[in-house]
Every structure is written in structure tokens, then in C-alpha cells.
Structure 1
Amino acid sequence: MLQFPITDGGTLGDGPDGGTGVLGRLGSPLFLEISPDGKVPVHKDGDDKWVPDSDVIVQIIEEKYPEPSLVTPEYFNVGSKILPRFVNFLKSKDPTDGAEQALLDELRFFDDHIKEYGPYVNGDHISAVDLSIAPKLYHMEVALSQSSRV
């Protein structure tokens, strides 16, 4: 978890509300120094450089700890169409253009895959695909909870 000093003398992330505390301060000047675009998650690599991209973070972890591998070529594309279909759905002004059905089809395919092979995309072992898709699914849930289209 990202930790940095906060004005009350504590460390962000060290309290009982760890996640809430982090999310509540994502727009703070200190956080924006670390991640100017406000992206999460962020990871500090060995060169004291902050990396604010989950896919790049997975690559860094894979290079540093190659065994067991997070890369699963067989299922690498599972879930890869969900976010583009979701963006199309949100941008769509025509309820009959198929954007909603395309999103539902992708989500159903993903759900069926997890039911058959789960609990993770690659079965019993977490993979880069899981680490990539999980935050996207969370952001979709948040966006849909605030959308008038649902």
C-alpha cells in the first residue's frame, strides 16, 4: 500500500480505514506530486521512480519475480474487451445500437470463464490478467452506480 506522511502526524495507510484514507486523499497535493494524473495504483520502483499504471506495475513485478509467472499466454485475452465495450456503452446515445448487448456479452463470457476455470482467470493461481481486470471492473461498478443508464 502507498504510504506517506499526512498532516496529523500519522502515515497514510496505517490506520484502520487504510483504503478509505487513501481514497480520501487521492487529490491531495502530495499525492499529485507522486501521480500527477491522479492514477492509482502507484508503485515505487528501485530507482525511486513512481509508476502509476497497473499494467506496467505487473510487468515490473514479473521481471523482478519471474517465478511463478504472472503471464498466462493461454488466457491472456480473457476480459480484454470488457473495458472497450464499457466505454462504447457509456458513449452510446442510441439504446438500440447494440453497445449494451456487446457489453453484456463480454461480461457473460468473462463470468462463464471464471465459473469454469476460477477462482482466477488462470484457475487456482492469480495472473497478470486478474491484476489488470480487477481495477477495471471496480471502476465500472462505481461508474454504473452513478449512471442514469442503469
Structure 2
Amino acid sequence: MITLYNAARCPYVARVRIVLAEKGVDFETVEIDLSDRPAWFYEKNPTGRVPVIEEDGGPPLPESAVIMEFLEERYPEPALLPADPEERAFVRLLIFRDNELTSPYYALRRGEDGAAEAFDAALGRFDTLLGERPYLGGAEYGLADIALVPWFLRARDMLGVELDAFSSLSDWLARLEQRPAIAAEVGIVAAL
């Protein structure tokens, strides 16, 4: 059994919850209060950050991108990375580019000057990237979509960011929300 050290509000943990749901993997959660992390949690991850997973008493594994790849290898079906090496590399690059979205998102959450404009610029870049493609990684839904959707959901549903001006992005998000794993995450965000 997998244990997920969770914080419902954390977009990085959302990535892991979505992958686990897509893979149909049973897991239990231990909620971590991010404003008052317990001392024992630093033994799981010295940085004190979530997510962290443990499987059947194995060593703790932190970092959402690493966990997503681990879960893809540990539970290969359904595949969330393309078979083609070039396409896999492209997906990994998209995951690596998350800071283009996360930095302005957190600035917007803190109410920093210029944050709304910076976030809109990031939305525009991802809207252009999507273009006519159904998913960020290309023809198939996968880890690139899972890695980035938590910020779009939280920006829209928690910060009131309007996505209508970004038609490709809006269409992509509507497609993703049809998936049970993403719909469950929408419910988690609504409860925050």
C-alpha cells in the first residue's frame, strides 16, 4: 500500500493524487499541515515539502516530478508517457517548464504587483503551445497534462482567473475535466 503525505491545497501533491487515480492505485493519505509541519515529517523529507510517498515500508520518496515518473515505471498501465523517445523527452521538458506557470501563480496568490500580467502572459504561452493539439504532450493525455493542470484549476477556481480569452487552454481544461481523476481534483479544489 502506498502512503501519500498530502496537503489538499498543494498543486504538487495534486499531481501525485491524479497519477495514482489514473493508474487505479489504492493509497492512503496522511495530511500534513503546511503551516505547522510536524517534526517527524522532516525525517521523511528534510526540506519539509510535500508530496512524499512511501510504499510498503520502503524509503520515503519526495518531489512530485520524481514521484510521477516512479509511478509510471512501477505501474506502467495505463501509460502516461508516450512510447516514442522524442515524444517522451518533449513531455519531460514540459514538466520541467512548470516554473513558467508556478512562479507567476504564486506571485498572483500573494497579490504582488504585475502578477496578473505575468500570469496572463504564461497562460498565453501555454495556449499557443496547445494550439490545435488535444493535450500538452500531443495526441495523448499524459504526465505533461497532469503536471500542469493543478495550477490552471487553482487559478480559475480559487483566484478567479478567467481563461475564456485562451480558447485552446479552455478547451483543453474542459477535456481534462471529463476524466474522473481530474474531476475528483476539481472537487478537492472546490472544498478548499
Within the alignment, does 1:60 sit opposite 2:70 as a pair?
yes
Higher relative contact order (CA 8 A, sep 6+): 2
Q: Distance in 2 between matches of 1:43 and 1:143?
A: 26
Distance 1:57 1:2, change over 3 A: same
Q: Distance in 2 between matches of 1:38 and 1:77?
A: 22
Q: Trace 1:75-114 onto structure 2 (pairs within 5 A).
A: 76-77=93-94, 80=98, 81-91=100-110, 93-94=112-113, 97=114, 99-114=115-130
Query: CA deviation digits over 1:4-23, x for unaligned, max 9?
Result: 9xxxxxxxxxxxxxxxx959
- Checking the alignment, whether the CA contact within 8 Å between 1:26 and 1:38 is kept in structure 2 is no
> Which of 36, 45, 50 is matched with 1:39 structurally?
50
Q: Residue 49 of structure 1 aligns with which residue? A: 59
Distance 1:83 1:115, change over 3 A: same
- Checking the alignment, whether the CA contact within 8 Å between 2:3 and 2:54 is kept in structure 1 is no
- Checking the alignment, whether the CA contact within 8 Å between 1:72 and 1:128 is kept in structure 2 is no
Q: Residue 133 of structure 1 aligns with which residue? A: 148
Distance 1:55 1:22, change over 3 A: same
Q: Distance in 1 between matches of 2:118 and 2:62?
A: 30
Indicate the structure (1 or 2) with the bigger Cα radius of gyration: 1
Q: Distance in 2 between matches of 1:137 and 1:143?
A: 10
Q: Distance in 1 between matches of 2:153 and 2:74?
A: 27
Q: Residue 122 of structure 1 aligns with which residue? A: 137
TM-score computed with the length of structure 1 as normaliser: 0.52
TM-score computed with the length of structure 2 as normaliser: 0.43
Query: CA deviation digits over 1:31-64, x for unaligned, max 9?
Result: 9586784624x43347712324221112323554
Q: Distance in 2 between matches of 1:61 and 1:93?
A: 36
Could you say which structure has the higher helix fraction? 2
Letter in structure 2 aligned against 1:39: V
% identity of equivalent residues:
22
